[in-house]
Amino acid sequence: MTQAEAAQITVAAVLGGTDKWNPLAVAKHPAAALANAAPLPANKFDFVLAARVFHGWAGQGRVDANLANIYNSLKPGGVLALEQHRGNPGQEPPVNKGYVTEQAVIDAATKAGFKLDGKSEVNANPKDTKDHPEGVWTLPPTLRLGETDKAKYLAIGESDRMTLRFVKVAKKP
């Protein structure tokens, strides 16, 4: 990819903690609550980053709608990068205290039309036992329990997270 091509890539991001579209780079979608946001422009973006938002979407009953919105906004061949607190395989329910099973995310994205294109363990944390009293919010950076067992939770660090790459499959002419 040339520098000129890279400069023309359009990016959108959904960042955890706010559940809002974040206007990055040349993506100029208004920062509005995702659950109430107007549809993103069709076939506009090359890349969408969704960071720690899937559990919030599930709690709002918006997984299918939000993934459909993202899918429609990506150009054919566009990438959805999804980073989410990873639950234990087979946990019930599949979304629990911020943790989501990797399979639940993959199934939802596949249902929306995406193809899983890669996984990374860059955000893995084997110290996270995923059984904390306040779920992912027990751990840093939130530390919802305050000073209670703070050193223990700081030693664990942030949650174990999946990092998945999905692609909008280009339709045949």
Boundaries of every domain in the chain = 3-126+160-168
pLDDT at 3: 45
What's the topology of domain 3-126+160-168? Rossmann fold (3.40.50)
pLDDT band at 10 (very low <50, low <70, confident <90, very high): low
pTM exceeds 0.85, yes or no: no
User: By percentage, how much of the chain surpasses pLDDT 70?
Assistant: 76
- pLDDT tens, position by position, 24-70: 332 333 223 444 556 788 898 888 888 898 998 898 888 999 999 99
CA 73 to chain centre: 16
- Structural tokens at position 143: 């530390």
- Structural tokens at position 41: 């422009």
Nearest to 162 by CA among 58, 60, 57, 50: 50
- pLDDT tens, position by position, 75-115: 999 999 999 999 999 999 999 999 999 999 999 999 999 99
DSSP string, 134-162: TGGGGSTTT-TTTTTTHHHHHHH-SPPEE
Tell me the range of 18-22, 90-94, 149-153 where mean pLDDT is highest.
149-153
pLDDT band at 121 (very low <50, low <70, confident <90, very high): very high
pLDDT at 15: 47
pLDDT band at 11 (very low <50, low <70, confident <90, very high): low
Instruction: Examine residue 126 and say whether the peptide bond preceding it is cis (omega within 30 degrees of 0).
Output: no
pLDDT band at 170 (very low <50, low <70, confident <90, very high): confident
pLDDT at 38: 63
